């Protein structure tokens, strides 16, 4: 049966593993045609995905899709399989391999562990949670024993697999047990501290050092020992990263008076410190992602993109093609996982909009010409692992990529971002409500007069919130012109004047300023996608990386909370109303 060139909705493949016949459903990402693949190739790809031990889990299939029907095996994305659904073939009309839009027979959902020896099992129960807690207690009794490392490794591997099989409520119960009852024994610490104080005047240095070592060990949470052994497992580091994700999520859901909050915060702190050591920049690998990179890496780059979502395979191909560079940091313990992703556009000038980035390549030349590249614009940086939150990776990636680009393009002398302003519109709407209540003066009389030409004078504030919410102002030239002045001014005020503990309120601004960048230019109508309008009314900002000023700028910001800013942003912020604006005016 020849599938070449046919458009498919679904493909069902029957796979026999150790005598068990299962039918696997392949879901294409979107409309397209299967290109240059005979059934033999498909069968080979699926057989290679099933382990000899009979693990019923197929993670990827190597189908390539091309909307134009051209036979290029490198053009396309790996298609996902339905991971948790296998179809019973007893009443199925599907033959050895078949193609259909529907299936017959009942289907069964399973949960899977990561251990290849495991078989599918039922959803977890409270009894399973108790079992995992008991296993934890048993493992921690080995801390000061002479038990073989083989036994410890086997038990820790079982604990890892069992934890991953728990449902969310049972994981939370386990984490509360771990943080509260297996941290630091305060009574032991106090007893050892009293002993150490009693040795203050002792001349026996050996005895003193032993007491200090004992105190140090008792001040270390018990679960730190467990983390070390988990990290030694295959995929164990990834397990700890995912566990910290669960811890952070649980902390965010607890009330400030919950007795489990402080122990969980200590657990999170210990995990962060452990992972910070393991993910030191010296242990990370820099990789450039191209269209010839492994299919799984390309798919993850697409999935993890948080700033400008990848629309389709054509969009992804452009982002790793000519006049673009995509770099990632990976870790040897998680080689197939990009930890942080940086997308860079190469241009002859610093772009002020997303459309400017897209048009730069066509403006310069069809074939990449290094002599035309004068500027590098970092337009998207995404941290992919929530469990690595608070561990600085992005700033090191930017600095490393700068060195790579300087080596490849000697004429590049301008480095800048084109950054989103994620929460500006939320800030703006909140201020509009306050102005409507008469609690603050937000717009000047001239700005109000201009807006009354397009909005109802009687319901000015509510109508203004409505047009910003629906983005209907984008299609009206007059209203767009009337909004440009106040929105740009208020955005500069938000970025430059609004602070939290002395540092900029905007998280993206805080990140780049800590790196030593300058708040360089605000750009009107820079991102008119629904996301761009929803985040910041289409405004974006360039943060310039002047290489000879990075260290001094970073030090002044972190030590003195001083924001290095251009005259354009400074003048916009000075046009704001209130006491803060007076300080900016005096600076000018």
Out of 512, 536, 576, 586, the active site residue is 512
Kindly list the distances between the CA atom of residue 274 and the CA atoms of 224, 231, 268, 395, 397, in Å, as whole numbers in the listed order: 8, 10, 10, 20, 21
Q: Which two tokens stand for residue 260?
A: 């489990």
The secondary element (H helix, E strand) that includes residue 401 is helix 394-408
- Angle subtended by helix axes 149-165 and 126-140, to nearest 10: 160
> Cα separation of 347 and 375, whole Å?
5
Active site residue 419: yes
Kindly list the distances between the CA atom of residue 4 and the CA atoms of 42, 90, 283, 412, in Å, as whole numbers in the listed order: 11, 29, 45, 46
- The residues with which 382 forms a beta bridge, in sequence order, are 341
Q: Which two tokens stand for residue 476?
A: 């009206």
Residue 341 near residue 382, CB atoms below 8 Å:
yes
User: Residue 49: which of 60, 37, 39, 40 has the closest Cα?
Assistant: 60
3-state secondary structure 140-167: HCCCCCCCCHHHHHHHHHHHHHHHHHCC
Kindly list the distances between the CA atom of residue 448 and the CA atoms of 295, 433, 452, 469, in Å, as whole numbers in the listed order: 54, 15, 6, 19
Secondary structure (3-state) at 11: strand
Pairing mode, strands 20-26 and 11-17: antiparallel
Pairing mode, strands 375-383 and 414-417: parallel
Active site residue 512: yes
Residue 523 near residue 492, CB atoms below 8 Å:
no
> Cα separation of 81 and 49, whole Å?
11
Out of 302, 416, 419, 536, the active site residue is 419
Residue 405 near residue 325, CB atoms below 8 Å:
yes
**Rama region for 418: left / alpha / beta (φ>0; ψ in -120 to 50; rest):** beta
Secondary structure (3-state) at 577: coil
Q: Which two tokens stand for residue 376?
A: 């590098």
Cα 228 to the center of its chain, rounded Å: 25
User: Residue 400: which of 299, 300, 321, 515 has the closest Cα?
Assistant: 515
Give residues with Cβ within 8 angstroms of 328, minimum separation 6: 286, 287, 289, 297, 301, 338, 339, 340, 341, 342
- The residues with which 107 forms a beta bridge, in sequence order, are 87
Question: Which amino acids are annotated catalytic?
Answer: 419, 512
């Amino acid at each position: 049966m020849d599938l070449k060139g046919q458009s498919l909705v679904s493909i069902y493949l029957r796979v026999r593993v150790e005598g068990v016949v299962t039918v696997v459903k392949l879901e294409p990402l979107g409309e397209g045609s299967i290109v240059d693949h005979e059934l033999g190739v498909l069968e080979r790809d699926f057989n290679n995905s099933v382990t000899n031990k009979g693990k019923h889990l197929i993670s990827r299939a190597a189908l390539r899709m091309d909307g134009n029907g051209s036979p290029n095996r490198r053009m396309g994305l790996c298609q996902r399989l339905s991971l948790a659904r296998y179809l019973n073939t007893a009443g199925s009309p599907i033959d050895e391999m078949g193609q259909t839009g529907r299936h017959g027979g009942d289907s069964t959902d399973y949960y899977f562990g990561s251990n290849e020896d495991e078989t599918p099992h039922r959803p977890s129960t409270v009894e399973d949670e108790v079992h995992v807690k008991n296993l934890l207690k048993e493992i921690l009794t080995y801390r000061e024993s002479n038990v073989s490392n083989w036994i410890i490794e086997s038990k820790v591997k079982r604990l890892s697999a069992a934890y991953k099989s728990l449902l969310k409520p049972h994981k939370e119960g386990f984490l509360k047990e771990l943080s509260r009852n297996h941290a630091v024994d305060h009574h032991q610490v106090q007893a050892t501290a009293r002993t150490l104080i009693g040795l203050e005047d002792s001349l026996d240095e050996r005895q003193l050092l032993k007491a200090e070592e004992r105190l140090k060990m008792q001040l270390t949470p018990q679960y730190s020992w467990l983390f070390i052994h988990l990290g030694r497992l295959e995929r164990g580091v990834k397990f700890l990263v995912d566990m910290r994700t669960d811890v952070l999520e649980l902390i965010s859901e607890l009330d400030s008076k919950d007795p489990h909050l402080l122990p969980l915060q200590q657990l999170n702190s210990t995990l962060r410190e452990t992972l910070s050591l393991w993910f030191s920049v010296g242990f990370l690998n820099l990789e450039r992602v191209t269209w010839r990179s492994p299919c799984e890496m390309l798919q993850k780059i697409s999935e993890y993109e948080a700033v400008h979502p990848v629309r389709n395979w054509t969009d992804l191909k452009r982002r790793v093609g000519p006049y673009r560079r995509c770099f990632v940091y990976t870790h040897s313990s998680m080689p197939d996982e990009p930890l942080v992703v940086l997308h860079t556009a190469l241009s002859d000038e610093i772009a002020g909009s997303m459309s400017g980035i897209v048009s730069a390549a066509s403006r310069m030349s069809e074939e990449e010409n290094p002599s035309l590249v004068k500027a590098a614009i970092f337009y998207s940086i995404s941290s992919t692992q929530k469990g690595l939150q608070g561990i600085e990776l992005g700033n090191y990636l930017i600095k490393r990529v700068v060195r790579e680009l300087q080596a490849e393009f000697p004429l590049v002398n301008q480095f800048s971002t084109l950054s989103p302003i994620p929460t500006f519109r939320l800030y703006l709407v909140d201020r509009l409500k306050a102005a409507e209540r008469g609690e603050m003066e937000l717009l000047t009389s001239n700005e109000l007069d201009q807006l009354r030409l397009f909005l109802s004078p009687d319901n000015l504030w509510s109508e203004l919130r409505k047009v910003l919410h629906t983005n209907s102002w984008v299609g009206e030239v007059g209203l767009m012109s009337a909004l440009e002045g106040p929105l740009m001014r208020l955005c500069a005020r938000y970025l430059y004047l609004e602070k939290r503990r002395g540092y900029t309120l905007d998280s993206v601004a805080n990140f780049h300023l800590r790196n030593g960048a300058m708040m360089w230019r605000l750009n009107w109508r820079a991102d008119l996608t629904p996301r761009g309008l929803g985040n910041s009314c289409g405004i974006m900002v360039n943060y310039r990386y002047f290489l000879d000023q990075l260290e001094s700028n970073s030090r002044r910001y972190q030590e003195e909370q001083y924001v290095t800013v251009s005259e354009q942003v400074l003048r916009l912020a000075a046009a704001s109303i209130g006491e803060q604006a007076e300080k900016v005016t005096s600076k000018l």
